[in-house]
Amino acid sequence: MVHPHEALFSERAANIKQSAVRDVFEISMQPGLVSLAGGNPYLQSLPLERLGAVAADIITNHGLQALQYGGGQGTLELRRQICEVMAAEGITDADPDNVVITAGSQSAQDIAAKVFCNPGDVILIEDPTYVGALNAFEAYQVDVQPVRVDEDGLVPAELLRRIEELRAAGKTVKMLYTIPNFSNPSGVTLAADRRPEIVRICREANILVLEDNPYGLLKFDGELQLPLRAGNPDDVLYLGSFSKIFAPGLRIGWALVPAHLKQRFYLASEAVTLCPPPFNQMLVSAYLRDFDWMAQVRTYRALYQDRCDAMLSALAEHMPAGVSWTTPAGGFFIWLTLPASVDTYPLLHQGIDAGVVFVPGAAFTSAPGPSNTLRLAFSSATPENIREGVRRLAPVLRAAVGR
């Protein structure tokens, strides 16, 4: 029987759903399974003992500050350090005054939708895109509309076409949400020559770019990609995070907000959390100040590259004809595409029976209906387990493809 309290839910709450990815994470905890589902960072290489000593020092010697309420925008020390982290990726004009520290970049996505979108307003997304952003946006009754991507990311002409088409249909398009580097879930990177064009199209259409860049520093080799925000302080609301380069459990991310938008964004953040956690901010500050955090980033790059290579070579060895996949330049994920007739959702259970877990592609799109895609994560399993997982997956996909 439906409880009468069901009638009390807001219309908004009807859009709040359990993410398919969460279901899969729970399944993937079962012993004996190789999980290529969750994109957890590999934390075993962190200097835990030294960090423990720093944490104890913070409580012992700065406890009254660490355990007290703090400023709603975050500590000035950490906001300054965040500007240095962003400078490592080419954002050299960031002002700590325009940085708002948030509970992971996840909460910044929620705040962005809350501050800018009325029900029915459009946020343009890459298709596929990050499931957490879809959930955050849909909770504000945003009309999430896909823009086609190819192997070089968002297609500028397609972006323009979608803006014109949606406006002709009477829609209000507010934002473009983009993950330009090694996207979750696709692993695709937006080509350098498309970046200024994307920003220009959005500027001319008065659409805010919401750039989500948690993986940018984890490029395997070569020069880092210049963020869309670099050189465009007024057009781009930039999101960063310590989750992939340090520790997701601390829940410390940030937004670099155009100066003219900062006040509203910051007040909305304060209304949700009062302040980001002072103790966690102090731990991140100490990590950036007293540890060689860039050396740790380099360790991660080599580690993830090794795992990505293991996955790519196993795919090349075992996958049947008709299955294709992306070749990421960094990050955590590879995206597989099967023939259009295959629905990957039922394959999840066949995969589990074969001892391997992945995430069906339908989780990462706003489009209803079946999807012929799936996501594999190479961040948390060892290279041996990755090879074993792909070996187990191959017969399941071969049977589905019919070869």
Write the burial class of residue 71 (CB in 10 Å: 0-12 exposed, 13-18 middle, 19+ buried). Answer: middle
The residue among 42, 55, 70 whose CA lies nearest residue 283 is 55
Residues in contact with ligand PMP, shown as a per-residue x/- string from 33 to 62 under the rule CB under 6 A: ------x-----------------------
Residue-by-residue DSSP string for 197-241:
HHHHHHHHTT-EEEEE-SSGGGBSSSSPPPPTTTT-TTTEEEEEE
C-beta of residue 250 within 8 angstroms of C-beta of residue 283:
yes
Closer of 156 and 248 to ligand PMP (Cβ):
248
Residue 330 binds ligand PMP (CB under 6 A)? no
DSSP helix/strand/coil, 67: coil
Question: Segment 144-183, which members bind ligand PMP (CB under 6 A)?
Answer: 179
- Rounded least distance, CB 102 to ligand PMP, Å: 8
Q: Is 126 in the site for ligand PMP (CB under 6 A)?
A: no
User: Does a cis peptide bond (omega within 30 degrees of 0) precede residue 119?
Assistant: no
Kindly report the backbone phi and psi dihedral angles of residue 344, in degrees, each rounded to the nearest multiple of 5, phi listed first: -80, -15
Interaction between residue 106 and ligand PMP (CB under 6 A) = yes
Q: Which of 212, 258, 269, 389 is the binder for ligand PMP (CB under 6 A)?
A: 212
- When binding is defined by CB under 6 A, the residue of 135, 184, 337, 344 that contacts ligand PMP is 184
Answer yes or no whether residue 246 interacts with ligand PMP by CB under 6 A: no
User: Interface with ligand PMP includes 132 (CB under 6 A)?
Assistant: yes
The rounded distance, in Å, linking the Cα atoms of 8 and 362 is 30
In whole angstroms, how large is the CA radius of gyration of the chain?
Answer: 21
Q: Which residues pair with 254 in a beta bridge?
A: 101, 240
CB of 181 or CB of 337, closer to ligand PMP: 181
Q: Binding ligand PMP by CB under 6 A: which of 130, 246, 265, 304?
A: 130
User: Please, are residues 360 and 19 in contact by the beta-carbon 8 Å criterion?
Assistant: no
Residue 128 binding ligand PMP, by CB under 6 A:
no
The residue count for binding ligand PMP (CB under 6 A) is 14
Q: Which of 70, 227, 233, 253 binds ligand PMP (CB under 6 A)?
A: 253
Q: Helix 131-138 crosses helix 104-116 at what angle (to 10 degrees)?
A: 30
Of positions 96, 214, 361, 389, contacts ligand PMP by CB under 6 A: 214
By the rule CB under 6 A, 98 interacts with ligand PMP: no
Q: Can you read off the two tokens belonging to residue 278?
A: 């002072």
Least Å from the CB of residue 268 to ligand PMP: 17
Cβ closest to ligand PMP, residue 377 vs residue 396: 377
Q: Verify binding: residue 328, ligand PMP, rule CB under 6 A.
A: no
Q: How many CB atoms lie within 10 A of CB 171?
A: 16
The residues binding ligand PMP (CB under 6 A) are 39, 104-106, 130, 132, 179, 184, 212, 214, 241, 243, 248, 253
